[in-house]
Amino acid sequence: MELRQLYYFVKVAKREHVTKAAEELHVAQSAVSRQIHQLEEELGAKLFLQKGRNLQLTPVGTLFLKRAEVILADLERAVLEIQEFLDPEKGEVRLGFPHSLGISLIPEVVSAFRKQNPNVNFRFKQGMYPSLIQDVMKGEVDLAFVSPCPEMHAHVTGQTVLTEELFAILPPGHPLSNEASIDLIQLKDENFVLFSDGYSLRPIVWDACKEAGFTPIIGFEGQETDTIRGLVAAGMGVSLLPEMALQGGSGKLQPTKVRVRAPRVTRTIGLIYRSNEKLPLVAKVFQRFLLDFFANVEARGRLD
Protein backbone atom coordinates (compact mmCIF):
# COMPACT_ATOMS: atom_id res chain seq x y z
CA MET A 1 0.00 0.00 0.00
CA GLU A 2 1.36 3.40 -1.00
CA LEU A 3 0.80 6.80 0.57
CA ARG A 4 -0.26 8.09 -2.82
CA GLN A 5 -3.14 5.64 -2.79
CA LEU A 6 -4.28 6.99 0.59
CA TYR A 7 -4.08 10.59 -0.66
CA TYR A 8 -6.10 9.74 -3.75
CA PHE A 9 -8.64 7.72 -1.77
CA VAL A 10 -9.26 10.51 0.77
CA LYS A 11 -9.61 13.10 -1.98
CA VAL A 12 -12.14 10.99 -3.91
CA ALA A 13 -14.05 10.28 -0.69
CA LYS A 14 -14.29 13.99 0.06
CA ARG A 15 -15.24 15.04 -3.46
CA GLU A 16 -17.40 11.95 -4.15
CA HIS A 17 -16.21 12.14 -7.73
CA VAL A 18 -13.08 10.85 -9.48
CA THR A 19 -12.87 13.64 -12.07
CA LYS A 20 -13.18 16.41 -9.46
CA ALA A 21 -10.60 14.70 -7.26
CA ALA A 22 -8.21 14.36 -10.20
CA GLU A 23 -8.58 18.05 -11.02
CA GLU A 24 -7.67 19.03 -7.45
CA LEU A 25 -4.75 16.60 -7.43
CA HIS A 26 -3.59 17.84 -10.87
CA VAL A 27 -3.32 14.31 -12.23
CA ALA A 28 -5.14 12.33 -14.90
CA GLN A 29 -8.48 10.79 -14.01
CA SER A 30 -7.19 7.41 -15.14
CA ALA A 31 -4.33 7.62 -12.64
CA VAL A 32 -6.75 8.20 -9.75
CA SER A 33 -9.05 5.39 -10.89
CA ARG A 34 -6.09 3.01 -11.22
CA GLN A 35 -4.80 3.77 -7.71
CA ILE A 36 -8.25 3.32 -6.17
CA HIS A 37 -8.68 0.02 -7.99
CA GLN A 38 -5.28 -1.22 -6.79
CA LEU A 39 -6.14 -0.17 -3.24
CA GLU A 40 -9.43 -2.07 -3.36
CA GLU A 41 -7.67 -5.17 -4.70
CA GLU A 42 -5.10 -5.03 -1.91
CA LEU A 43 -7.78 -4.62 0.75
CA GLY A 44 -10.04 -7.19 -0.83
CA ALA A 45 -13.08 -4.94 -0.50
CA LYS A 46 -15.02 -2.33 -2.45
CA LEU A 47 -14.52 1.18 -1.10
CA PHE A 48 -17.00 3.02 -3.33
CA LEU A 49 -20.35 2.45 -4.98
CA GLN A 50 -21.64 4.37 -7.98
CA LYS A 51 -24.58 6.63 -7.08
CA GLY A 52 -25.74 8.54 -10.14
CA ARG A 53 -22.82 10.64 -11.31
CA ASN A 54 -21.15 10.53 -7.92
CA LEU A 55 -19.45 7.92 -5.79
CA GLN A 56 -20.60 6.85 -2.35
CA LEU A 57 -18.46 5.21 0.32
CA THR A 58 -19.33 1.66 1.25
CA PRO A 59 -19.43 0.78 4.98
CA VAL A 60 -15.89 -0.57 4.58
CA GLY A 61 -14.87 2.63 2.80
CA THR A 62 -16.28 4.76 5.61
CA LEU A 63 -14.30 2.77 8.16
CA PHE A 64 -11.12 2.95 6.09
CA LEU A 65 -11.52 6.73 5.55
CA LYS A 66 -11.34 7.38 9.29
CA ARG A 67 -8.09 5.46 9.56
CA ALA A 68 -6.60 6.94 6.41
CA GLU A 69 -7.24 10.49 7.61
CA VAL A 70 -5.50 9.75 10.91
CA ILE A 71 -2.49 8.24 9.12
CA LEU A 72 -2.10 11.21 6.77
CA ALA A 73 -2.58 13.72 9.58
CA ASP A 74 0.08 11.98 11.67
CA LEU A 75 2.45 11.96 8.71
CA GLU A 76 1.88 15.67 8.11
CA ARG A 77 2.57 16.46 11.75
CA ALA A 78 5.76 14.39 11.63
CA VAL A 79 7.00 16.36 8.62
CA LEU A 80 6.22 19.65 10.37
CA GLU A 81 8.04 18.52 13.52
CA ILE A 82 11.15 17.69 11.50
CA GLN A 83 11.01 21.05 9.73
CA GLU A 84 10.68 22.83 13.07
CA PHE A 85 13.58 20.84 14.52
CA LEU A 86 15.79 21.85 11.61
CA ASP A 87 14.70 25.51 11.86
CA PRO A 88 12.54 26.43 14.90
CA GLU A 89 11.78 29.88 13.49
CA LYS A 90 10.07 28.40 10.45
CA GLY A 91 7.01 26.26 10.19
CA GLU A 92 3.30 26.33 9.48
CA VAL A 93 0.37 26.97 11.80
CA ARG A 94 -2.90 25.33 10.79
CA LEU A 95 -5.71 27.47 12.16
CA GLY A 96 -9.48 27.00 12.06
CA PHE A 97 -12.07 29.68 12.71
CA PRO A 98 -15.70 30.64 12.00
CA HIS A 99 -16.48 33.08 9.20
CA SER A 100 -17.39 35.92 11.56
CA LEU A 101 -13.82 36.07 12.87
CA GLY A 102 -12.27 36.19 9.41
CA ILE A 103 -13.35 39.77 8.74
CA SER A 104 -11.02 41.51 11.17
CA LEU A 105 -9.79 39.37 14.07
CA ILE A 106 -7.83 36.71 12.18
CA PRO A 107 -6.06 39.21 9.89
CA GLU A 108 -5.18 41.33 12.94
CA VAL A 109 -3.71 38.56 15.09
CA VAL A 110 -1.86 36.88 12.21
CA SER A 111 -0.39 40.19 11.06
CA ALA A 112 0.77 41.01 14.59
CA PHE A 113 2.30 37.55 15.02
CA ARG A 114 4.14 37.63 11.71
CA LYS A 115 5.76 40.92 12.61
CA GLN A 116 7.61 38.97 15.28
CA ASN A 117 7.84 35.70 13.34
CA PRO A 118 8.04 36.59 9.63
CA ASN A 119 9.05 33.09 8.48
CA VAL A 120 6.00 31.31 9.88
CA ASN A 121 3.30 30.40 7.37
CA PHE A 122 -0.39 29.80 8.00
CA ARG A 123 -2.96 27.43 6.58
CA PHE A 124 -6.54 28.47 7.31
CA LYS A 125 -9.76 26.50 7.46
CA GLN A 126 -13.16 28.08 8.04
CA GLY A 127 -16.18 26.20 9.28
CA MET A 128 -19.12 25.91 11.64
CA TYR A 129 -18.79 24.92 15.27
CA PRO A 130 -19.24 21.13 14.81
CA SER A 131 -16.89 20.93 11.83
CA LEU A 132 -14.17 22.94 13.61
CA ILE A 133 -14.33 20.58 16.59
CA GLN A 134 -13.94 17.64 14.19
CA ASP A 135 -11.05 19.35 12.38
CA VAL A 136 -9.17 19.68 15.67
CA MET A 137 -9.94 16.10 16.71
CA LYS A 138 -8.78 14.69 13.34
CA GLY A 139 -5.61 16.78 13.35
CA GLU A 140 -6.55 18.79 10.28
CA VAL A 141 -5.87 21.99 12.24
CA ASP A 142 -3.63 22.57 15.26
CA LEU A 143 -5.69 25.34 16.84
CA ALA A 144 -9.20 26.62 16.27
CA PHE A 145 -11.31 29.52 17.44
CA VAL A 146 -14.84 28.41 18.36
CA SER A 147 -17.80 29.98 20.07
CA PRO A 148 -18.40 28.94 22.78
CA CYS A 149 -15.45 26.97 24.16
CA PRO A 150 -16.60 23.35 24.71
CA GLU A 151 -16.79 22.18 28.31
CA MET A 152 -15.69 18.71 29.43
CA HIS A 153 -14.98 17.43 25.91
CA ALA A 154 -13.30 14.03 25.68
CA HIS A 155 -10.85 14.94 22.92
CA VAL A 156 -10.62 18.75 22.79
CA THR A 157 -9.58 21.28 25.40
CA GLY A 158 -8.96 25.02 25.47
CA GLN A 159 -9.78 28.28 27.15
CA THR A 160 -12.08 31.23 26.61
CA VAL A 161 -10.01 34.12 25.30
CA LEU A 162 -12.56 36.82 24.57
CA THR A 163 -16.10 37.92 25.43
CA GLU A 164 -17.74 40.02 22.74
CA GLU A 165 -20.91 42.10 22.81
CA LEU A 166 -23.64 41.62 20.21
CA PHE A 167 -25.42 44.66 18.77
CA ALA A 168 -28.83 45.01 17.17
CA ILE A 169 -28.54 45.81 13.48
CA LEU A 170 -31.41 47.61 11.80
CA PRO A 171 -32.20 48.80 8.27
CA PRO A 172 -31.26 52.42 7.51
CA GLY A 173 -34.20 54.64 8.39
CA HIS A 174 -35.69 52.20 10.90
CA PRO A 175 -37.65 54.04 13.64
CA LEU A 176 -35.13 52.85 16.25
CA SER A 177 -31.99 53.41 14.18
CA ASN A 178 -31.20 56.77 15.80
CA GLU A 179 -31.48 55.46 19.35
CA ALA A 180 -28.30 55.19 21.40
CA SER A 181 -29.54 51.90 22.85
CA ILE A 182 -32.70 49.79 22.93
CA ASP A 183 -34.29 46.96 24.86
CA LEU A 184 -34.51 43.78 22.80
CA ILE A 185 -38.26 43.52 23.47
CA GLN A 186 -38.69 46.56 21.22
CA LEU A 187 -37.94 44.26 18.25
CA LYS A 188 -40.51 41.58 19.12
CA ASP A 189 -42.75 42.38 16.12
CA GLU A 190 -39.88 42.52 13.61
CA ASN A 191 -38.79 39.84 11.16
CA PHE A 192 -35.39 38.48 12.19
CA VAL A 193 -32.60 37.53 9.82
CA LEU A 194 -30.86 34.62 11.56
CA PHE A 195 -28.04 32.23 10.85
CA SER A 196 -29.02 28.77 9.69
CA ASP A 197 -29.06 25.80 12.07
CA GLY A 198 -25.57 24.69 13.05
CA TYR A 199 -24.13 28.19 13.41
CA SER A 200 -23.31 29.15 17.00
CA LEU A 201 -24.72 32.68 16.71
CA ARG A 202 -28.23 31.39 16.02
CA PRO A 203 -28.93 29.96 19.50
CA ILE A 204 -27.35 33.04 21.12
CA VAL A 205 -29.83 35.35 19.35
CA TRP A 206 -32.72 32.93 19.89
CA ASP A 207 -32.03 32.59 23.63
CA ALA A 208 -31.63 36.36 24.03
CA CYS A 209 -35.05 36.94 22.46
CA LYS A 210 -36.61 34.30 24.71
CA GLU A 211 -35.00 35.94 27.73
CA ALA A 212 -36.48 39.26 26.59
CA GLY A 213 -39.92 37.66 26.57
CA PHE A 214 -40.67 36.76 22.96
CA THR A 215 -40.00 34.20 20.24
CA PRO A 216 -38.29 35.78 17.22
CA ILE A 217 -40.16 35.80 13.91
CA ILE A 218 -37.78 34.29 11.36
CA GLY A 219 -37.98 36.15 8.08
CA PHE A 220 -34.78 34.98 6.42
CA GLU A 221 -31.81 32.75 7.16
CA GLY A 222 -28.21 33.00 5.98
CA GLN A 223 -24.85 31.32 6.37
CA GLU A 224 -22.42 34.24 6.41
CA THR A 225 -22.23 37.51 8.31
CA ASP A 226 -22.08 39.44 5.03
CA THR A 227 -25.39 37.85 4.00
CA ILE A 228 -27.06 38.68 7.32
CA ARG A 229 -25.75 42.23 7.19
CA GLY A 230 -26.79 42.72 3.57
CA LEU A 231 -30.33 41.42 4.08
CA VAL A 232 -30.84 43.70 7.07
CA ALA A 233 -29.46 46.68 5.18
CA ALA A 234 -31.89 45.91 2.35
CA GLY A 235 -34.81 46.15 4.78
CA MET A 236 -35.54 42.42 5.04
CA GLY A 237 -35.53 42.40 8.83
CA VAL A 238 -33.37 42.96 11.90
CA SER A 239 -30.71 40.86 13.58
CA LEU A 240 -27.99 40.72 16.23
CA LEU A 241 -24.33 40.49 15.27
CA PRO A 242 -21.04 40.72 17.19
CA GLU A 243 -19.10 43.92 16.70
CA MET A 244 -16.29 42.18 14.83
CA ALA A 245 -18.77 40.99 12.21
CA LEU A 246 -19.83 44.59 11.58
CA GLN A 247 -16.38 45.83 10.65
CA GLY A 248 -15.15 46.31 7.13
CA GLY A 249 -18.49 46.26 5.37
CA SER A 250 -18.38 46.89 1.64
CA GLY A 251 -21.08 48.47 -0.48
CA LYS A 252 -23.09 51.64 -0.17
CA LEU A 253 -25.95 50.08 1.79
CA GLN A 254 -25.07 49.17 5.38
CA PRO A 255 -27.24 48.43 8.44
CA THR A 256 -27.36 50.65 11.49
CA LYS A 257 -25.73 49.36 14.69
CA VAL A 258 -27.55 49.97 18.00
CA ARG A 259 -26.49 48.76 21.46
CA VAL A 260 -28.87 46.41 23.30
CA ARG A 261 -29.46 47.46 26.91
CA ALA A 262 -31.45 44.50 28.11
CA PRO A 263 -30.78 41.71 28.08
CA ARG A 264 -27.06 42.23 27.50
CA VAL A 265 -26.13 39.83 24.71
CA THR A 266 -22.60 38.45 24.43
CA ARG A 267 -20.72 35.54 22.96
CA THR A 268 -17.55 33.93 24.24
CA ILE A 269 -14.73 32.89 21.94
CA GLY A 270 -12.48 29.99 22.84
CA LEU A 271 -9.15 28.75 21.53
CA ILE A 272 -9.09 24.95 21.37
CA TYR A 273 -6.62 22.17 20.60
CA ARG A 274 -6.38 18.40 21.00
CA SER A 275 -6.39 17.06 24.55
CA ASN A 276 -3.41 15.08 25.81
CA GLU A 277 -1.36 15.80 22.72
CA LYS A 278 1.63 18.07 22.38
CA LEU A 279 1.19 20.96 19.98
CA PRO A 280 3.78 21.40 17.23
CA LEU A 281 6.43 23.87 18.35
CA VAL A 282 5.37 26.68 16.02
CA ALA A 283 1.69 26.23 16.99
CA LYS A 284 2.67 26.38 20.66
CA VAL A 285 4.49 29.65 20.07
CA PHE A 286 1.41 31.03 18.31
CA GLN A 287 -0.86 29.82 21.14
CA ARG A 288 1.23 31.68 23.73
CA PHE A 289 1.16 34.78 21.55
CA LEU A 290 -2.65 34.59 21.30
CA LEU A 291 -3.12 34.24 25.06
CA ASP A 292 -0.97 37.35 25.63
CA PHE A 293 -2.73 39.18 22.80
CA PHE A 294 -6.20 38.58 24.20
CA ALA A 295 -5.12 39.34 27.75
CA ASN A 296 -4.11 42.77 26.46
CA VAL A 297 -7.40 43.09 24.55
CA GLU A 298 -9.39 42.43 27.71
CA ALA A 299 -7.27 44.98 29.56
CA ARG A 300 -8.01 47.58 26.89
CA GLY A 301 -11.66 46.60 26.85
CA ARG A 302 -11.94 46.35 23.05
CA LEU A 303 -10.15 45.42 19.84
CA ASP A 304 -8.41 48.28 18.06
Q: What is the pLDDT of residues 95-144, one digit of tens each?
A: 999 988 988 899 999 999 999 999 899 999 999 999 999 999 988 999 99
Q: Out of 36, 70, 104, pick the residue that ends a domain.
A: 70
Range of the domain at 57: 3-70
Backbone φ, ψ for residue 50 (5° rounding): -75, 130
Per-residue burial over 42-57, b if 16 or more Cβ lie within 10 Å, else e, is eeeeebbeeeeeebeb
**For position 52, what pLDDT does the model report?**
84
Query: In CATH, what number is assigned to the domain containing residue 133?
Result: 3.40.190.290
Say yes or no: 8 and 110 in one domain.
no
Average pLDDT over residues 1-20: 89
Pair 266, 216 in one domain: yes
Domain final residue, candidates 35, 70, 105: 70
pLDDT tier, 249 (very low <50, low <70, confident <90, very high otherwise): low
Residue 270 lies in a domain: yes
Q: Which of 70-79, 143-152, 221-230 has the lowest mean pLDDT?
A: 70-79
Residue 24, pLDDT score: 86
- Kindly report which listed range (203-212, 219-228, 231-240) carries the lowest average pLDDT score: 219-228
CATH assignment at residue 62: 1.10.10.10
pLDDT of residue 278: 86
Mean pLDDT over 239-253 rounds to 80
Kindly state whether residues 46 and 178 are assigned to the same domain: no
- Looking at the structure, tell me whether residues 177 and 229 fall in a common domain: yes
- Whether 65 and 118 share a structural domain: no
Kindly tell me if the per-residue pLDDT of 81 is higher than 90.
Answer: no
pLDDT band at 300 (very low <50, low <70, confident <90, very high): low
d(CA 161, CA 145): 9
Position 55 pLDDT exceeds 70: yes
Residue 82 lies in a domain: no
157 bridge partner residues: 273
Boundary residue ending a domain (70, 102, 122): 70
Mean pLDDT of the chain: 90
Residue 187 belongs to some domain of the structure: yes
Domain assignment present for residue 78? The answer is no
Residue 50's pLDDT band (boundaries 50, 70, 90)? confident
Residue 282's closest CA among 10, 147, 41, 86?
Answer: 86
Which amino acid, residue 284?
A: K
At 34 the pLDDT is 92
Residue 219 falls within a domain, yes or no? Answer: yes
Question: What is the number of domains present in the chain?
Answer: 2
Say if residue 190 is in the same domain as residue 252. yes
To 10 degrees, the CA torsion angle through 97, 98, 103, 104?
-50
153 and 197 both lie in a single domain: yes
Quick check: 147 pLDDT over 80? yes
- The pTM assigned to this predicted structure is 0.72
Domain assignment present for residue 142? The answer is yes
Compute the CA torsion angle 274, 278, 283, 287 (nearest 10 deg). Answer: 70
Residues 172 and 272 in one domain: yes
The verdict on 145 and 197 lying in the same domain is yes
Provide the pLDDT for residue 90.
72
- Check whether residue 152 and residue 301 sit in a common domain: yes
Main-chain phi, psi angles of 123, to 5 degrees: -125, 120
58 with 101, same domain: the answer is no
- Give the model confidence (pLDDT) of 283-294 as tens digits: 999 999 999 999
Lowest-pLDDT range, 143-157, 238-252, 261-275? 238-252
In this model, does residue 47 exceed pLDDT 90? yes
Task: Give the model's confidence band at 73: pLDDT under 50 very low, under 70 low, under 90 confident, else very high.
Answer: confident
pLDDT tens, residue by residue, 190-206: 999 999 998 899 999 99
* 48 shares its domain with 112: no
In a domain, 77, yes or no: no
- Residue 105 in domain: yes
